[in-house]
Structure 1
Amino acid sequence: MSDYASQIETIDRDLHELEATDGRFAIWRMVFFVGLVLGVGFAITTQHVIWASIAGGSLLAFLVTVVRNETVRDRMELLRNQSRTLHRLQARLDRDWQSLARDGVGVRSQEIQLTDEQQALAGDLDLVGEASLFQLTSMAATTPGVRTLANWLCSPVDPPIAIDRHASVKHLADQPDNRLRFYVLARDIGGSSGDPESFVKWSKEPNWLPPHRWLIPWGNFTALLAVAITIAMVVGQMTDHADWLRLGLYALIGIAVINLAIGSFFLGPVAAIFQIAMASRRSVNDYAELFDAARWLPETTDNANGPTSRIRSALLADEGSSGSASQGMRELAKVARMGGLKQTASTFLLYLPLQAFWLWDVRVLRRLEEWKSRYSDQIPTWFDALGELEALMSIAALQHDAEGWISPEWLDDQSTLTFEGLGHPLLKDHVRVTNDVTIGPEGTLLLVTGSNMSGKSTMLRSAGLNVALAMAGGPVCCRRMSLPPIEMGTSIRVSDDLSQGVSYYMAELNRLSAVVAHARELSKRRDGGDTKRIQFFLLDEILQGTNSRERQIAVARVLRFLVEAGAVGAITTHDLELADDEELMRMAHTVHFRETVTPDASGDERMTFDYKMREGVSPTTNALRLLEIVGLGEQ
């Protein structure tokens, strides 16, 4: 935290100095512009060479000032992006969810695309959305990066993939300066119209120019005509034919008006294409640098099919060939330099006559579409790889900042999940309470009892969030954690759907049915040798929408189905009758959380929780005492 604060302080100081410099440049720009206007005005009215010299000198000084001022403003924008990025890193450490939510470029949760099953899991475990694992982890600013990271957090993977991801994450975590540069560049692109999703979509669309090819010969014709008219005007000036000069000037103005009108009213789609493919010359160079960041990954891994090898292959392999991302972006940068003439004040005076007499935008578009024709097949692969790289970069920030978090251990030959010092990763360090939790082996489950607010649901989410982190390739909030290949199934937050006529109880039954079907499907796949994964289920206070006796029978039946399918998991309840069920006791290891009630100085009861897990069934309940505490006890 102090390191980030120190960097922000340095950037703020540099920004203050640059803002002062920018203000001085603004004054000099105005002075030179006024000098230019006055010089031209007096040169026309007095015909004195001195005024023409003043006008020329002012124009030159103005252009030099503009170029230098643009350099200062580019530096200011870079520093502002660095500051925003460091503030986000700082907010993640402090679990400042409001600041993270305000950082629209860094979050972009509206871009996340999940299946119904992933959305259910994400809602149960706070994987995406406000104050979520995604919000804690994400430094992604582009659409592919956002979607890839969210998908990784909500999807199961086999251990070799998770191990490969984690090896890359640890390697990138040790490169804070490189990562900061990557985050800033990605933020610059993610906030522009040249976001990768738009770029990929454009690469798949038909070229705009073929149906409008007449624009090229028309531009050639007007350019040649303008040259001929200019020569005629020079000859007229030399031979004292004043009419040639006047008529030629009118003709040039006419050509310019026609071509500029074509550019304004007919080439609107071309401008939109430029905004996507070449949002600025800097954005193309940013893409090239982001692709080159794949060099920061480990050069060799144990998994040839893992994300590390896939990213390096897509972005770096065969560099110099026609399919190389680096080569492709270098070629696009050349086109962007042509298209960028109108984007800066220093080159706009060159762009204007080129567009007015030669339809410069059409020339640039032709080069751009030729480039797209060469690389359109590779472009989606490039940005898929960039999304994976950005996801790894995001998780690497968590690996670097999460002091005391460890690497998970994957075990193929057992069915037990072991958490030593299990903590909730979304809580601040000073309020987090940790517990040692063991879930499994196959044929058993963990039954968590306890009174209201004692920490049962938090423990379930702690386990699920850390499993999601492990599968995404991240560090875990434990002293030690080992797990087998698993897929998660949950029923924690269930709501009714009146629009579909689904009651709360039926909605919960549907969720439980999906969890059981998932466990059975995995069991069949294991029997067929297609997978080693088992289901890891997390069920919180299920089937509360029915009477106690039927609930006891129904819960025991659901758990029996899950255990018979080889699933392992945990279920919470504050219903002590459920904990007494004989069938449930045969398969369950029972633990509990409890509260402590003590009188305060005024003699009123005060209820506290230590959130520590203990062996056995909960010996206490607190529902009636909570009623009294909130003023709803008997008078």
Structure 2
Amino acid sequence: QEAIYLALETMNLNRAMRVERKLNDLEMGSEFQDKKHPFSNDLDLFGDHSLFQLLNHTVSKKGKESLAAKMKADFDLKKADPLRMASSELSTKPRVLQAMESIGLAFYTEEKVNSGWVNWLNQQEKSTFLISIFAFVGPLGGISVLVLSFLGIIPGALVGVWVLIGLVFLGLVFNPLKNASESLPSRNQLKTYRYWLAILEGEKFESSLLKKMQAPFLTDGLKASTLFDQLDSLGLWVENRINLLYIPLNLLFWTDLFLFLRLISWKKKHGQVVAHFPAQLTEWEVMISLGAFEYEVGGKGKVISVEKGLLGRAVAHPLLHPQVAVANDFMINANQQLILLTGANMSGKTTFMRTLGVNCVLVNLGLSPFAEEFGFSNFQLYTSMRNTDNLGESVSSFYAELSRIKQLIDRIESGEEIFFLLDEILKGTNTEDRIAGSEALISQVNNTRGMGIISTHDIELADLETRMDTVKNYSFHSEIHDQTIDFDYKIKRGACPSFNAHKLMELMGIRFNN
């Protein structure tokens, strides 16, 4: 009970950090970062101040891996719909969310990987008729020899002979029991599973997905939690066979034989069923994370159906504090297929693009967007924002960006429907080549199934709107004062009328000769 209270205290502290968006002390999931992924590296899904820190309530390594895989998964709105209903229902059950997470934090350890004992559960054990006979002969014979020796009817040396005979039969089950001891999960793992199952067995769910996930635990015979109780009891005996109190009893009464028979009998009846539970509970960890996210900090926005493109009203960034985040309306469709986004430095172009991308990820996860309304068609997301050099691979940041753009072109030209976000396109080359390359790329993407946003400082590209019907200009502005620059972070129709790099450099101490 003390462990549960301490876990709840930790959860309350973590919740406060998530609500305030102070995420530094939460697990970052940096091991899941992937520069080659279509969008995860650019959208702060993992790492410091990331979506993973807001989402993650898992306790096991497999749970974290499964959550990360769902965050990076290809977009599939059909799969997202049942997830949304399930996470929404769980968000109305805070006691279930608290109980599941607190049990995991209090007891779960990664002492043994699940694959080892799952494989053991699926293995067939061989038992001979001889073992069955001597499992009952052992206790009867041991008691008889001890009593007769005590009464002086037989010499005491025969007790030693009895022990030596028993070693032969005990040797038959030594390796199988040793393998079981090494394979079975720790008592903390079993305790975690047992308590998790007890909660899930007693809860009534309405959504079809939660019912489907709960069904394997609602067996007609013994409850799933009872099966783990039995396995825990057997595992305790198996692990304590080297106990100083157990060894003399085992040598006299051959108790290992009876323990082996009980173990293989349980395994034969329930092993293959129980073997599936760890993977199923891993999926429950992910669902608890989604439900807890909706309960603690969820966007509460409405997901709408969009035939082509993307539509969002009052869309905000989930990683920004709600009191700080500035919401924007946005639409992209067949009539405005490509958005040229211009604007002053620090005016919010990149944050806005990430806002759209992260909300797309949330919807694909079955979560509510941070918007009044938000929806998109069946496209895949692709980004190119953080392109860094790699000395180990002799790759410059410009070449890294070109590689990303080539992958995008290949996917679009193969007929795939893509929504792309390209930040400060071709920034690694000179102005003339950058403008020429940007125009060529826009022409190449025009009238394909690709659509997206390209941010740029090259105002010359704004002229493309007059030459291409599907290209539209949008921008973010700044207001320059004597010693300050103000930003409203609101997207506006049309190209940016002024830039602020000169003033920013002045404010940073660079003196220009008039």
Q: 1:455 Cα deviation (Å)?
A: 0.8
Match of 1:185 in 2: 103
Q: Summarize deviations over 1:480-514 as a string: whole Å, max 9, x none.
A: 21222221011111123333333322221221121
Distance of 2:403 and 2:316 partners within structure 1 = 30
Q: Summarize deviations over 1:182-237 as a string: whole Å, max 9, x none.
A: 11233356424356455445546x56x6599999999878656643442134313x
1:443 to 1:519, Cα distance in 2 relative to 1, 3 A = farther
1:617 aligns with 2:495: yes
Decide whether the 8 Å contact of 1:522 with 1:535 is kept in 2: no
Please state whether the residue corresponding to 1:97 is helix, strand or coil.
coil
Deviates more, 1:255-264 or 1:174-183: 255-264
Aligned ranges 1:102-141 → 2 under 5 Å: 110=31, 119-141=37-59
Please state whether the residue corresponding to 2:339 is helix, strand or coil.
strand
1:292 aligns with 2:201: yes
Please state whether the residue corresponding to 2:302 is helix, strand or coil.
coil
Once superposed, what is the RMSD of the aligned Cα atoms? 3.9
Task: Report % sequence identity.
Answer: 23
Decide whether the 8 Å contact of 2:145 with 2:158 is kept in 1: yes
Distance of 1:230 and 1:138 partners within structure 2 = 60
Equivalences, count: 511
Distance of 1:135 and 1:213 partners within structure 2 = 56
Aligned ranges 1:90-169 → 2 under 5 Å: 90-101=16-27, 110=31, 119-169=37-87
Aligned ranges 1:40-55 → 2 under 5 Å: none
Match of 1:42 in 2: none
Decide whether the 8 Å contact of 2:135 with 2:254 is kept in 1: yes
Distance of 2:377 and 2:6 partners within structure 1 = 44
Decide whether the 8 Å contact of 1:270 with 1:365 is kept in 2: no
Decide whether the 8 Å contact of 2:234 with 2:263 is kept in 1: no
Match of 2:231 among 321, 331, 335: 335
Decide whether the 8 Å contact of 2:117 with 2:184 is kept in 1: no
Match of 2:150 in 1: 234
1:387 to 1:356, Cα distance in 2 relative to 1, 3 A = same
Q: 1:624 Cα deviation (Å)?
A: 2.8
Match of 1:28 in 2: none
Match of 1:436 in 2: 329
Q: 1:475 Cα deviation (Å)?
A: 1.2
1:265 to 1:370, Cα distance in 2 relative to 1, 3 A = closer
Match of 2:380 in 1: 487
Question: What's the TM-score, normalizing by structure 1?
Answer: 0.70
Q: 1:308 Cα deviation (Å)?
A: 4.0
Distance of 2:127 and 2:323 partners within structure 1 = 65
Aligned ranges 1:13-92 → 2 under 5 Å: 75-92=1-18
1:632 to 1:121, Cα distance in 2 relative to 1, 3 A = same
Aligned ranges 1:166-315 → 2 under 5 Å: 166-188=84-106, 190-193=108-111, 196=114, 199-200=117-118, 202-203=120-121, 206=123, 226-236=142-152, 244=156, 269-275=179-185, 279=188, 282-289=191-198, 292=201, 295-299=203-207, 301=208, 307-308=209-210, 310-315=212-217
One-letter amino acid matched to 2:98: L
Decide whether the 8 Å contact of 1:445 with 1:569 is kept in 2: yes
Decide whether the 8 Å contact of 1:332 with 1:371 is kept in 2: no
1:195 to 1:368, Cα distance in 2 relative to 1, 3 A = farther
1:130 to 1:203, Cα distance in 2 relative to 1, 3 A = farther
One-letter amino acid matched to 2:457: H
Distance of 2:428 and 2:128 partners within structure 1 = 66
Q: 1:617 Cα deviation (Å)?
A: 1.3
Q: 1:162 Cα deviation (Å)?
A: 1.4
Distance of 2:51 and 2:113 partners within structure 1 = 24
1:89 to 1:522, Cα distance in 2 relative to 1, 3 A = farther
Q: 1:457 Cα deviation (Å)?
A: 0.5
Match of 2:288 in 1: 393
Decide whether the 8 Å contact of 1:142 with 1:196 is kept in 2: no
1:398 to 1:332, Cα distance in 2 relative to 1, 3 A = closer
Q: 1:310 Cα deviation (Å)?
A: 4.2
1:283 to 1:395, Cα distance in 2 relative to 1, 3 A = closer
Q: 1:284 Cα deviation (Å)?
A: 4.6
1:79 to 1:544, Cα distance in 2 relative to 1, 3 A = same
One-letter amino acid matched to 2:296: D
Q: 1:625 Cα deviation (Å)?
A: 2.5
Distance of 2:256 and 2:302 partners within structure 1 = 53
1:457 aligns with 2:355: no
Match of 1:527 in 2: none
Match of 1:473 in 2: 366
1:83 to 1:535, Cα distance in 2 relative to 1, 3 A = same
One-letter amino acid matched to 1:271: S
Distance of 2:5 and 2:434 partners within structure 1 = 60
1:263 to 1:584, Cα distance in 2 relative to 1, 3 A = farther
1:180 to 1:518, Cα distance in 2 relative to 1, 3 A = same
Q: Summarize deviations over 1:360-402 as a string: whole Å, max 9, x none.
A: 5675565445555555655565444433332222111122223
One-letter amino acid matched to 1:406: G
1:386 to 1:297, Cα distance in 2 relative to 1, 3 A = farther
Decide whether the 8 Å contact of 1:220 with 1:358 is kept in 2: no
1:543 aligns with 2:438: no
Please state whether the residue corresponding to 2:184 is helix, strand or coil.
helix
Match of 2:410 in 1: 517
1:496 to 1:192, Cα distance in 2 relative to 1, 3 A = closer
Q: 1:258 Cα deviation (Å)?
A: 11
1:630 to 1:228, Cα distance in 2 relative to 1, 3 A = farther
Gaps of 5+ in 1: 1-74, 102-106, 302-306, 524-533, 600-604
One-letter amino acid matched to 2:385: I
One-letter amino acid matched to 1:95: R
Please state whether the residue corresponding to 1:183 is helix, strand or coil.
helix
Match of 2:510 in 1: 632
Distance of 2:443 and 2:97 partners within structure 1 = 48
Distance of 1:552 and 1:483 partners within structure 2 = 30
1:626 to 1:109, Cα distance in 2 relative to 1, 3 A = closer
One-letter amino acid matched to 2:72: C
Deviates more, 1:224-233 or 1:355-364: 355-364
One-letter amino acid matched to 1:477: F
Match of 2:394 among 501, 508, 512: 501
1:269 to 1:589, Cα distance in 2 relative to 1, 3 A = same
Larger fraction in helix: 1
